[in-house]
Structure 1
Amino acid sequence: MATELTSEVVDRLTGDRYGWLTTVAKSGQPVPKLVWFFFDGTDILVYTQPSAAKVRHIGSHPRVSLNLDSDGNGGGIVVVGGTATVDSEDADPRDDGPYWAKYGALSDQFGLTESMGGYNLRLRISIDKVWTTPTE
């Protein structure tokens, strides 16, 4: 990690369940997609289907950002930027203990647990930039 993360940023990366992963399409168009993510203390992990457009985008343009929501009043926004790589092409998220501890119940709630085995491509985002807006 090329940048120091504040405790507020670490808390958000650890506690938030949803983020917007923005990749860049072949056309140059930024493409945000809602994702589940896990911060392992250094990098961000995202599981996805191998055929997802974001995987192709990262193959051509590995620079990405992950955007977290505001506090509802325009403050508290956290955006991290970095380089995304394919970390594993055969990684079942249900076998990743820390990730599944964060998302297992949510997956059950939405009826997704069985299909999660198809999200077997793991992306790793190495953080090197952080942007925030102050909280009140």
Structure 2
Amino acid sequence: MSARLLDPSVPVEAHAGERLTGAPVVWLGTVGPGGRPHTVPVWFTWDDPTITIFSRPDTAKIGHLRAHDAVSVALDTAEEGTDVVTGSGHAVLTQFGRVERALDAFGRKYGPVLGEQPLDAWLMTFSLPIVVTLDRLVAWRSTSAGLEYASLPSGG
């Protein structure tokens, strides 16, 4: 696993980690033919510095990732646009056996949303794991004490 991006002792980074853990959707940006951007909302789990997504294998994003592994991610803004988390990195298409920890976290996070549908049944459709390793993360938020900002890694 790559080195963690977030330091939980730094308030803006701890807050970004909480948002990445709890947000229901992250926007995944891929690059299509001719460099055209393609952005879609996806369910995900966060384990610093990786985001794991489960996709149908027949989607445009999968075709894009087979040709070009660079991606961007962004959470919906919070607090009327004053709480922002974005990042970029590279994606790998993988197999269930390589994402067991993420699979457990995914079940805990989305099980209540699935209701009566078992996770195993849902995964029959969304059968292709995507692991995004972030190499850059930008987070900022406005607080009563002023602007908190992090661009990670800090030398990047």
CA contact (8 A) 2:55 2:128 kept: yes
Greater relative contact order structure (CA < 8 Å, 6+ sep)? 1
The alpha carbon displacement at 1:92 in A equals 9.8
Q: 1:11 and 1:3 mapped to 2: Cα distance? A: 14
* Pairing of 1:97-116 with structure 2 (within 5 A): 97-108=104-115, 114-116=121-123
Residue matched to 2:136: 129
Q: 1:12 and 1:73 mapped to 2: Cα distance? A: 15
CA contact (8 A) 2:31 2:64 kept: yes
Q: Structure 1: 5+ residue runs without aligned partners?
A: none
- In structure 2, the CA distance between the partners of 1:125 and 1:135, relative to structure 1 (3 Å rule), is same
* Pairing of 1:1-136 with structure 2 (within 5 A): 1=2, 4-5=5-6, 6-88=13-95, 96-108=103-115, 114-136=121-143
Q: 1:83 and 1:99 mapped to 2: Cα distance? A: 20
Larger-Rg structure: 2
Q: Identity of counterpart residues, as a percentage?
A: 26
Q: 2:59 and 2:125 mapped to 1: Cα distance? A: 11
Report the number of matched residues: 134
Residue matched to 2:153: none
Q: TM-score, normalised by structure 1?
A: 0.85
Cα RMSD over matched residues?
Answer: 2.5
CA contact (8 A) 2:25 2:41 kept: yes
Q: 2:103 and 2:96 mapped to 1: Cα distance? A: 14
Specify the code of the residue in structure 1 equivalent to 2:5.
Answer: E
Deviations 1:104-123 (A, max 9, x none): 111227x6954442111000
The alpha carbon displacement at 1:90 in A equals 7.6
- In structure 2, the CA distance between the partners of 1:92 and 1:117, relative to structure 1 (3 Å rule), is farther
Deviations 1:88-112 (A, max 9, x none): 178899x922111101111227x69
Deviations 1:37-95 (A, max 9, x none): 001233110000111111111111211011101114221110111100112178899x9
Secondary structure at the counterpart of residue 33 of structure 2 = coil
